[in-house]
Chains A and B, each alone.
Chain A
Amino acid sequence: MKAFKHKDIIALRDLSKEEIELLIETAEGMREVNSREIKKVPTLRGRTIINLFYESSTRTRTSFEIAGKRLSADTVNISPSTSSATKGETLSDTALNLLAMKPDIIVMRHAVSGSHYYLSGRLPGCSIINAGDGAHEHPSQGLLDMLTMKDRFGRLDGLKVAIVGDITHSRVARSNIQGLTKMGSAVFLAGPPTMMPPGVERLGNVTVCSTMKEAIQDADVVMMLRIQQERQGKTLMPNTREYSRYFGLNPENLKLAKPDAMVMHPGPINRGVEMSSHVVDGSQSHILKQVENGVAVRMSMLYHVCGGELE
């Protein structure tokens, strides 16, 4: 019998292929709950989940909150503008204070890569789920992307997945690379050289392409990334128009991919920059399906960490 034995979910890099499969399969079961008229099961009744978001988020925070509520857990949201972080409290102090209120799970998003690892050892008896840390990982996004691909193709093994955009700053790209290469997909990356991290091809079955055309040629999946203007300096690209010309997805270059290729984007979308509206709203777009699957995947993650071994 497959079982999940981690206390935390911080990075897909830390999970085995079997554990990723289990999380995805459980999410498939959770979807049934989301399709009911009464969308609630008593599984995590009496558990407390704190959503601690140091960076802005609509999708992920709402999705984690809904996931917790559908499993009957009590969810509490803390956002930076209302937290003591604005008064100068350190992350460690905030976490210890929250821990004193005995939560079972803390779901955190933080701008500093690796901050969850820093907290993990300091919070005995409480699980930590990473909802995005700096430019490191965003495991729930990686899992929901893989679930959406599996829905479409029935498998992940042997798929050609193109990821285009600002790879350096993208935690979404890192989680997808970690997950997809473990599941047997081939990942092709494209983006301006200023946004391509050196050595990324060492992460597994990853090919760095010099042009976008090369990456999306015959791809099963074209995943576009958001240009993260809040994260990068001003010098990485001349302007968004030029970026869009070389690395934007439009109906023309989408024809290079397989005819039934699926188009994905983690959101929020800069319409007209990384993707034209024709593609965003087109028949090959699975963007809203990704959001829908997000709730089921997060239910699966909350469920499995609650069963993890507590130290």
Chain B
Amino acid sequence: MAAQNTVILDVTGVRRALTRIAHEVLEKNKGVENLVLAGIRTGGVYLAKELAARLEEIEGVRPPVGEVDITLYRDDIKGQTAHLPVGKTDIPFSVEGKRVVLVDDVLFTGRTIRAALDAIMDHGRPACIQLAVLIDRGHRELPIRADFVGRNVPTSLKENISVKFDSNYLPTEVVLEK
């Protein structure tokens, strides 16, 4: 990687951000009743599981966590020279009438979220979908915003944000790579 890497959130910072997001989710949805989490592969899935664990610590009930793979919903398939492998979408519960919290690690152009919204809608009609992200780095290309944000990080298009996980898929730090 490049010479200048800045740690935006360390392990404690990530933990605090997730705990705060958990409280905000509970406040906005008045508890965990009817609540389900959907993580976007792959970073979002790990974060969704962490978020579910926080919600359980606070409320005593762990909301179900689904996994969404957006490969089949991408809008840039036509221009690709070779296709990416398709991961597995795994939503082992009905989303019908549920309050869905979509979880991703970094919110950037918004195109991934658009694809994930379509993917969830194909599984049923939720009561609502909210978006939780660890980092919002700006540069939206679609009218999409997050309901819950860990940290807003203004970036240039040349920079890259990377959320790191350890071998147990627990978040360790967020790095800005220049």
- Which residues of A are interface residues toward B (Cβ below 8 A)? 1-5, 22, 25-26, 28-30, 32-33, 36-38, 40-44, 71, 300, 303-304, 306-309
For residue B39, give the distance in angstroms from its CB to the closest CB of chain A. Answer: 15
Q: Interface segment, B11-19, B84-92, B136-144?
A: B84-92
Looking across the interface, which residue of chain B has its beta carbon closest to that of A104? B78
In this complex, how many residues of chain B approach chain A with their Cβ under 8 Å: the count is 22
Closest 5 CB pairs of A and B: A307-B83, A3-B82, A29-B86, A41-B72, A43-B72
Taking chain B's interface residues, is the majority helix, strand, or loop, or is none over half, making it mixed? loop
CA distance A2 to B82 in the complex (A): 9
For residue A70, give the distance in angstroms from its CB to the closest CB of chain B. Answer: 10
Known: A38-B122, A42-B118. A33 touches B72 (CB 8 A): yes
Residues in chain A near residue B90, CB distance under 8 A:
32
CA distance A37 to B122 in the complex (A): 9
For window 84-132 of B, CB contacts with A under 8 Å fall at 84-90, 118-119, 122-124
CA distance A5 to B89 in the complex (A): 24
Q: Is there an interface contact between A32 and B89, defined as CB atoms closer than 8 Å?
A: yes
Known: A43-B77, A306-B77, A307-B77. A29 touches B83 (CB 8 A): no
Number of residue pairs spanning A and B whose beta carbons lie under 8 angstroms apart:
64
CA distance A303 to B69 in the complex (A): 15
Q: Is there an interface contact between A25 and B85, defined as CB atoms closer than 8 Å?
A: yes
CA distance A206 to B59 in the complex (A): 61
Residues in chain A near residue B81, CB distance under 8 A:
5, 307, 309
Known pairs A32-B90, A33-B89, A36-B122; list 4 more (Cβ under 8 Å).
A5-B81, A37-B124, A38-B123, A300-B86
Q: Is there an interface contact between B82 and A303, defined as CB atoms closer than 8 Å?
A: no
Is B80 part of the contact surface with A, judged by Cβ < 8 Å? yes
CA distance A3 to B80 in the complex (A): 11
CA distance A113 to B124 in the complex (A): 46
- Which residues of B are interface residues toward A (Cβ below 8 A)? 69, 71-74, 77, 80-90, 118-119, 122-124
Residues in chain B near residue A22, CB distance under 8 A:
85
CA distance A300 to B118 in the complex (A): 20
Q: Is there an interface contact between A309 and B88, defined as CB atoms closer than 8 Å?
A: no
Checking A1, A28, A42 against B72 with a beta-carbon cut-off of 8 angstroms, the contacting residue is A42
Residues in chain A near residue B71, CB distance under 8 A:
29
Q: Is there an interface contact between A304 and B83, defined as CB atoms closer than 8 Å?
A: yes
Residues in chain B near residue A42, CB distance under 8 A:
72-73, 118
Residues in chain B near residue A308, CB distance under 8 A:
82
Residues in chain B near residue A26, CB distance under 8 A:
85-86
Q: Is there an interface contact between B82 and A5, defined as CB atoms closer than 8 Å?
A: yes
6 A-B residue pairings within 8 Å (CB atoms): A4-B83, A32-B90, A41-B72, A41-B119, A307-B77, A308-B82
Q: Is there an interface contact between A3 and B87, defined as CB atoms closer than 8 Å?
A: no
Looking across the interface, which residue of chain B has its beta carbon closest to that of A307? B83
Checking B73, B85, B123, B124 against A43 with a beta-carbon cut-off of 8 angstroms, the contacting residue is B73
CA distance A38 to B123 in the complex (A): 7
Residues in chain B near residue A36, CB distance under 8 A:
122-123
Q: Is there an interface contact between B87 and A29, defined as CB atoms closer than 8 Å?
A: yes
For residue B89, give the distance in angstroms from its CB to the closest CB of chain A. Answer: 5
For residue A11, give the distance in angstroms from its CB to the closest CB of chain B. Answer: 20
CA distance A308 to B78 in the complex (A): 10
Residues in chain B near residue A3, CB distance under 8 A:
82-84
